[in-house]
Amino acid sequence: MRSLTNLKQPPRFSLSSHVGNHLVLSAQANCRIELFVLAEDIIRVLVLPDGEIHGPRSWAIAPGADDVALEGRDRRDMSGFTPPPFAVSGDAGHVVVETARVRLTVTLDGGLCAWDILHDDAWHRVMNDRRTQAYNFGWWDERVYHYIERREGEMYVGLGERAGLLDRADQSYDMRTIDAMGYSARTTDPLYKHIPFYVTWQPHTSTGFGLFYDTLADCRFDMGRELDNYHGRYRHFVAGHGDLDYYFIASAGTPLHAVRRFTWLTGRPAWMPKWGLGYSGSTMSYTDAPDAQQRMGEFIERCREHDVLCDSFHLSSGYTSIGPKRYVFNWNHEKFPDIDGFVQSYLADGVRLCANIKPCLLQDHPAFEEVARAGLLIRACDGDPAWVQYWDEVGAYLDFTNPHTIDWWKARVKDSLLKHGVAATWNDNNEFEIWSPHALAHGFGNGYPAHQAKVLQTQLMMRASHDAQREYAPERRPFLVSRSGGVGMHRYVQTWSGDNYTSWETLRFNLKMGLGLAMSGVSNSGHDIGGFSGPAPGPELFARWVAFGIFLPRFSIHSWNDDGTVNEPWMHPEVTQLVAGLIKLRYRLIPYLYELLWQSHCAYEPVLRPMFAEFPHDPRCLVDGDDMMLGSSMLVAPVVEPGQSTRDVYLPLGTSWVSYWSGEAFDGGQTVTLPAPFEQPVFLLREGSVVPLNIAEQHFGRPADERAFLVVPHAGAGITRGGCVEDDGESEAWRTGAQGRWNVVLTGDAHTLRISVEREGWMPQPQTQVSILVPRHEVRTIVCTGGALAADHLSGGWRCLTISLAH
C-alpha cells in the first residue's frame, strides 16, 4: 500500500538528475517526476508521489517489435528507442525540455506540465495540466489522477471501442472489461476492451497529440462532462491503482500521425493470412443442436447451393458441451461423432475452422480437479479457487501469469484442436470479470491481487493461443480472433465489437465504434453482421448491414437471435442472391484490404479512418457523420436508416471523387445525392488513387485470382502511384523473400497518360496481362511503358485498358 504525505501545498521540485534521455525531478516527502525523452515527438512522464513504482511491469510498450518478454518489460527499460537530440534549460521556476518537435515546460511548484508542438515554424501550446491539484500528491486517496485543462473546440477520439459518438467530448467512460451481451452501441458503457489512449485534435491550429496511460488498472476518463467551480474547465483520468505513467505523442498537421506512432510504440500489427479477410460463417445454433455435425454440413451445402463465397467458419462453443453447459477443450462426441472427418470435409471446400475457447473452467469441468491441484487457477487467499459467475455456473479462471498455465493451455490447443486440422482459435468470453480484492494471481512469481490486472490475463491468453499455433505449424501465419483485449492486442489477433444488438441504431453506431478502435491502434476489426442478439434482422436491415460489413477487415455473419432463427446469407430468400453478390464484391476488393493490412503491419497505417482524420482542414469533415474512409483512397457511405433509396454524401474539399458504380466524377466541397440500391453500396474513389482488385470469376469451393487496378488519375498534370503486396497468402515464406509487389504509375499531362506497370519480387501466380480501369470520362491518349496496350474498351462506368506485360 502506498504511503502518502498529506501535503497542504504542491511539492516544490528541482532537477536532481539528468542521465542521457532520463531526467528526474525531486521534491520534499520523496515526491518524484521522471521524464523520458524517447523520440522527437514522444516524451514520457512518470509521476511517483512517494518516489516508488507501484504498477506492475509493462506489457504494452514494444516499439516496432513483434512482442514483449512474456514476463513483461521493466518500467525503466528504454530499449527500442533511439533518443533524439534535445535541449534542457530553465530558470528558478521552470525546467524546459525541447526536441525538434515538442517543448515540455515543467513548473517546479507542483510539477505541472505544459506542452507545445512545432507546426508551420511556430510553437503552439496544446496542453496544460490543471493549475490546481493536477496530480494526487496525497490530496485524496491512493488512486491515480491526472487533471488537464480543457480548451474550446477540442476533439477527443479513441479510447478503443466506445458507444456513442466518435468525438468523446463532454462524455465520461468507465474503462473495465465486461461481457456486455446485447449492448446499446449508442449508450452502453463499459464494453469489452481496455485501451487507455486517445487523440486530442485542435482544428483551429491543425495540431494535436496522443495520450497513452500505461496502466492495467480499471480506470475512468472524463472528457469534460464533470464541472467543478474550484478548478475551471478540465478533463481527467483516474485509475484505481498503480502509477501515473503517460506518453505524450505530438501530432501536427494530421491526427493520424499520433495513431501511427502509438501503434509503433505498442508493437507491430500481426500479418495474418489472407483467408482471414474472407467471409466467415458463424452461429451458436449449429453447434448447440444435438445433430451439430449434420447442421454444420448443411451450411456447406447451402453455400454451394447459393454460390456464397466462404473462407472460414467460427465454431461456437456448443461443440464442447456436456448437457446445457460448455467445457473448454471438451469435444462432444455425440454431436461430432467424427471430428477428423468433419474438419476435413470443411477443408476440402477451402473453409477453415476457428474454434471457440474460453479461459474459465466450470467447477464440474472434467479437468477441474487436475488443474486446481496443479495451481493453474486464480486463487483465493486460502488457496482455494477464486470462484466467479460464468454463464450459468460457478467456475474459476485460469491464471495466465503462471507459466505452467500457459504450457497447459498451449498443449490443450494443440491436442484438442490443431491436431484435428482446426486452423485457428476464437478467444471468447475472456474479459476476466474478477471483482474480489482477495483473489490472487501468480504474477510470474510476484503475486498480486488478480483484479488489478484483468486485462493482462486476456492479453496473455491470446498470446498463449498465438504461440500454440506458431509452435504447432511454424510455417504458417497464425490466425486468431479475440473479443476482449487491451493495448498490444493488435500484435496477435483480429477482433470484433462483441455481442451487439440487432437494430438500425447499432448499425449506425457500430461504424463509429470501429473507427474509434482504428484510431486506438486496432485496425483489424469488424462487427457481427446483422446483429448478434435480439430480434432477427429483417431483409432490409440485413442487406444494408452486409453492404456495410463487406468493407471491414473482419466480415462475419454471427447471431443468437431471440426467436431461434439464424443470421445466414440465405435467411431471407428475397435478398439471398443480392447478399451473395455483395459477398462477391467483398472478394473483388480483398486485394485492396490485404494491401491496407500490409500497410498497417509495415507502416502502422490505420485501415479505417474518420473523415476528419483524413481531411483535418475541411471544417465540414469535423461533423460526426455516418461515412468513413477505407484507407486513404476509398470513401464508404453506408445506408444506416430504413427506407432509403439514395444517399447524400459530403465530398471533402481539395480533391475530386469518382463513383465506383457509374465512373462519374464529382468535385470536392459539395454534397451529392447518389443512388443507393441494396446491391450497390455507395463508395467513391479519391483522385490520385490506385485500388487493386481481384477480377477473376469466383465460385464457392473454386477460388481464382487475377489482378487488376482501378486508377483515378489526376485531371491535369500529375503522377498517380500505387500498387499492392503479393505473396502466397498463408505461409511465413514472405519473411525469407517469397513476397512481391505490383507497382502502377500513371503520369499525365493535358493530352497523354503514360502507364507503367511493374512487378517486383516473387509472385504467387503468373499473369501475362493486367487490366487498368480508369473513369470513362478519361479520354487522353494512352502510352504504355514496360508493356503494350492490347485492348481499350468501355465497361460500365470505366474505360478498361488491357496491358500485355513485358517479360
**pLDDT tens column, 36-81:** 999 999 999 999 999 999 989 999 999 999 999 999 999 999 999 9
Taking residues 746-754, report their average pLDDT.
95
Which pLDDT belongs to residue 7? 60
Quote the CA–CA distance of 708 and 790 in Å, as a whole number. 14
Among residues 611, 437, 587, which one has the least CA distance to residue 1?
437
Of residues 181, 418, 464, 424, the one with CA closest to residue 280: 424
Residue 4 pLDDT greater than 60, yes or no:
no
pLDDT at 6 over 70: no
Q: Residue 786: its pLDDT value, please?
A: 80
* CB neighbour list of residue 44: distance below 8 Å, 6 or more residues apart: 35, 36, 38, 245, 246, 247, 248
In the chain, the percentage of residues whose pLDDT exceeds 70 is 99
Query: Rounded distance, CA 639 to CA 129, Å?
Result: 42
- Whether 569 contacts 576, CB under 8 Å: yes
48: which residues sit within 8 A by CB, 6+ positions away?
31, 32, 33, 34, 243
pLDDT tens digit string along 630-666?
999 999 999 999 999 999 999 999 999 999 999 999 9
d(CA 752, CA 765): 31
154 — pLDDT class (breaks 50, 70, 90)? very high
* Rg of the chain, C-alpha, whole Å: 27
Can you give the length of the chain in residues?
Answer: 807
Average pLDDT over residues 411-418: 98
pLDDT of residue 5 exceeding 80, the answer is no
In terms of Cβ atoms closer than 10 Å to its own Cβ (0-12, 13-18, 19+), residue 383 is: exposed
Rounded Cα–Cα distance for residues 739 and 728 (Å): 8
Per DSSP, the three-state class of 586 is helix
The yes-or-no verdict on residue 8 having pLDDT over 80 is no
Helical segments of 617-767, H only: none
Three-state secondary structure of 128-191: EECCCCCCCCCCCCCCEEEEEECCCCCEEEECCCCCCCCCCCCCEEEECCCCCCCECCCCCCCC
Mean pLDDT value across residues 21-45: 97
Q: How far apart are CA 269 and CA 524, in angstroms?
A: 9
| Average pLDDT, rounded, for the chain | 96
Mean predicted confidence (pLDDT) in 713-726: 96
CB count in 10 Å sphere of residue 190: 21
What is the rounded distance in angstroms from the CA atom of residue 183 to the CA atom of residue 483?
A: 14
555, 529 contact by CB (below 8 A): yes
Backbone angles phi, psi at 189, to 5 degrees: -155, 135
187-242 pLDDT, tens per residue? Answer: 999 999 999 999 999 999 999 999 999 999 999 999 999 999 999 999 999 999 99
Q: Are 463 and 67 in contact (CB under 8 A)?
A: yes
pLDDT at position 223: 98
Q: Which three cell numbers stand for residue 640?
A: 444506416
Joined together, the cell numbers standing for residue 656 give: 475530386
Q: Let me know: does 499 contact 181? Beta carbons within 8 Å.
A: yes
Contact 647, 692 (CB under 8 A): no
Beta 769-775 vs 707-712: how paired, if at all?
Answer: parallel
Query: How do beta strands 740-748 and 752-761 pair?
Result: antiparallel
Q: Which three cell numbers stand for residue 56?
A: 506492475
Query: Which residue has cell 474472407?
Result: 278
75 and 245 Cβ atoms separated by less than 8 Å = yes
70-127 per-position pLDDT tens digit: 999 999 999 999 999 999 999 999 999 999 999 999 999 999 999 999 999 999 999 9
Give the DSSP H or E segment for 689.
strand 689-694
Decide if 190 contacts 177 (C-beta within 8 A): yes
CATH architecture entry for 706-805 = Sandwich (2.60)
How is residue 752 written as a grid cell?
Answer: 497523354
Q: Considering the chain, what percentage of its residues have pLDDT values greater than 90?
A: 96
Q: Is the model's pTM score more than 0.75? A: yes
**Cβ pair 479, 420 in contact under 8 A:** no
**Is the link from the previous residue into 190 a cis peptide, with omega within 30 of 0?**
yes
The residues near 567 (Cβ < 8 Å, ≥ 6 apart) are: 283, 528, 529, 530, 531, 536, 537, 542, 557, 558, 559, 561
Nearest to 170 by CA among 624, 715, 734, 596: 624
Using an 8 Å Cβ cutoff, are 81 and 63 in contact? yes
Number of H helices and E strands in the chain, helices first, is 11, 54
Name beta bridge partners: 694: 707
Q: List where CATH 3.20.20.80 sits in the chain.
A: 274-358+402-435+445-603
* Mean pLDDT value across residues 686-714: 97
Question: Per DSSP, what are the bridge partners of residue 259?
Answer: none
Where in the chain do CATH 2.60.40.1180 domains reside? 706-805
pLDDT at 1: 46
Q: Read off the pLDDT of residues 366-387 as tens digits, 9 standing for 90 and up.
A: 999 999 999 999 999 999 999 9
What is the distance between the alpha carbons of residues 727 and 662, in angstroms, rounded to a whole number?
32
Tell whether the model's pLDDT for residue 542 goes beyond 90: yes
- The Cα 99–Cα 40 span in angstroms is 5
Nearest to 174 by CA among 217, 211, 234, 221: 221
List Cβ neighbours of 237 (8 Å cut-off, separation of 6 or more). 144, 145, 146, 196, 213, 219, 220, 221, 222
CA 95 vs CA 85, 87, 124, 584: distances in Å? 17, 10, 18, 60
Assigned CATH topology for domain 274-358+402-435+445-603: TIM Barrel (3.20.20)
Alpha-carbon distance of 22 to 596, in angstroms, equals 37
Distances (CA, A) of 362 to 385, 409, 426, 435, 438: 11, 16, 19, 18, 20
Q: Is the pLDDT of residue 29 over 90?
A: no
